[in-house]
Amino acid sequence: MYTALMIDKISSSAVVQCNSLKAPPHASMQCQDPGVNSYGSICSVLCEEGFDLIGGNMTKCSAQGNWSHALPVCQAKRCNSINPPHGSLSCSHPNGLFSFGSLCKTTCDEGFLLNGTNSTECTSQGVWSADIPQCLAKICPTLSSPSHGSLVCSDPHEEFSFGSRCVSTCEEGFVLNGTADTECSSMGTWSTDIPRCLAKRCPTLCSPSHGFLVCSDPHEEFSFSSQCTSTCEEGFLPNGTADTECTSMGTWSTELYESRALRPCPLLDKAPHHGRMNCSHPYSSFSYDSSCDFECNEGFWLRGTPTMTCNTSGHWRQDLPTCQPLQCEAIPALFGSLSMNSHPLGNFSFGSQCIFACEGASP
């Protein structure tokens, strides 16, 4: 009878119940129940792909009507944070910052180009689907130092790239023709052309009077390092320095000479006796190329050259001529006597006078 009473008491007692459970976000839950949410029920939680379980994955309804453990949390897997240099990100984060499902697009700053895929997604494995792209500075054309100059550049990114700045300088004796500074722009072009280094110019030289000018010009005519030599025409001597050079200051090292006539010939101060002289002097009196013409007076003839010329050595090319009286035939004395009364210039010559007398005749 006692046994029957105990059975009736147990059967009339209620089963202990625990609170109803709801699966956490991004998870599924499975329970083994002797009765729904009742004493002895065991529930386990499984996170979706891309989520990690934070906490215990199993709980049990106790005799006191409590679950043995709080339900776990399913947390989205995280990918590494990204921050591309010289670029910006546009991201969507459905499950938290840089977590499973985050989608990011990269945009480069002005002056930079994208190197790689512009979009990437955080996968269920906690890694990005594509490598984070690089923003590389745009490259400008390679520069060379100007001829007779040098180029100094600063490159904040890469050589000859966006933001690079180059300054040109010229060697001694050369001047800059153009703008010294240039910068690689965001368009990948230089802001200005590289300047030229031009040789400094010296004043233009002219050939000396009665001379020639011969120059060598390694750069431009009459410019730095030009060398000039003067030579005189025949009959002239240099009066100063023959050579000069254009210096790095744009001035000639020396002044070129002027040609002067050579040593003069002996002075012809008067014409030959019984003659006339007419002289011409293209440069200076009785100097190189001076010439004198000679004529004799009536009754005289010219012995020698009619013209004398002064040569380069300061001598007359010809001897001074003379004027000789014209000669008459000698007169013999025939049947009488001949009185030679007067021969002022020589026997039987121009100006001679003869007087004749017959024999037996009174004078």
For 233-282, the pLDDT digits (tens) are 877 777 777 899 999 999 999 987 676 766 788 888 888 999 999 999 88
Give the pLDDT score at 18.
Answer: 92
Question: Which tokens hold the place of 362?
Answer: 């009174």
For 55-72, the pLDDT digits (tens) are 998 999 999 999 999 999
pTM: 0.58
Give the pLDDT score at 321.
Answer: 93
Average pLDDT, the chain: 87
For 321-335, the pLDDT digits (tens) are 999 998 887 777 655
Question: Which tokens hold the place of 164?
Answer: 């690079």
Confidence of residue 362 (pLDDT cuts 50, 70, 90): low
> Which letter, b or e, does each residue of 202-238 get, where b requires 16 or more Cβ atoms within 10 Å of its Cβ?
beebeebebbeeeeeeebeebbbbbebebebeebbeb
- Residue 48 contacts residue 29 (beta carbons within 8 Å): no
Q: Specify the higher pLDDT residue, 233 or 166.
A: 166
Question: Which tokens hold the place of 284?
Answer: 């200076």
For 172-195, the pLDDT digits (tens) are 999 999 999 999 999 999 999 999
Confidence of residue 339 (pLDDT cuts 50, 70, 90): low
Dist CA 151 CA 149 (whole Å): 7
Closest C-alpha to 203, from 252, 243, 254, 242: 252
- Residue 231 contacts residue 240 (beta carbons within 8 Å): no
Q: What angle do CA 55, 60, 63 make, to 5 degrees?
A: 140
Walk me through the domains of the chain, giving residue ranges and CATH numbers. Answer: 15-76 (2.10.70.10), 87-137 (2.10.70.10), 149-199 (2.10.70.10), 211-261 (2.10.70.10), 275-325 (2.10.70.10), 328-363 (no CATH)
Average pLDDT for 198-223: 92
List of E strands, 111-267:
112-115, 119-121, 134-137, 149-154, 165-170, 174-177, 181-183, 196-199, 211-216, 227-232, 236-239, 243-245, 258-261
Give the pLDDT score at 13.
Answer: 62
Dist CA 203 CA 103 (whole Å): 73
Strand, helix or coil for residue 57: coil
Instruction: Provide CB contacts within 8 A for 245, sequence distance 6+.
Output: 225, 226, 227, 228, 252, 253
Q: Specify the higher pLDDT residue, 219 or 2.
A: 219
Q: What are phi and psi of 207, to 5 degrees?
A: -60, 140
Give the pLDDT score at 2.
Answer: 38
Residue 153's beta-bridge partner residues? 166
Residue 198's beta-bridge partner residues? 175
